[in-house]
Structure 1
């Protein structure tokens, strides 16, 4: 179950238009971090399973921290 603090609003955060839809910048940063981590882990370990799990973990962590912490947002 997801809970969002009533004071947090996506409209107040910096957004980027992507196909006409405003996306919060922290979500795009999380996706980019996950992809970079996936590629690095794939090159280092050679294991797709480790790369996918590591990239997904880092992306989810960045997304969750930015969603609840106003200090991590620009």
Structure 2
């Protein structure tokens, strides 16, 4: 392993730690997440289906932005 691999592992760990802290302390304020307009929810008597399409798009955009910034500055 070289030195850059260690830097990337520390960066990824720090980002995951920050996300975990944010979710831990603000989970009561994130109840809307996964229930955005455009998310598909179907519920029947014996069946429940959920496909959070818009939520996944937002997560994808945020991850792409983070990866772009990491790539640009490191």
* TM-based fold match above 0.5: no
* Length-normalised TM-score, structure 2: 0.39
Q: Which has the larger radius of gyration?
A: 2
Q: Larger relative contact order (C-alpha < 8 A, sep ≥ 6)?
A: 1
* Length-normalised TM-score, structure 1: 0.39
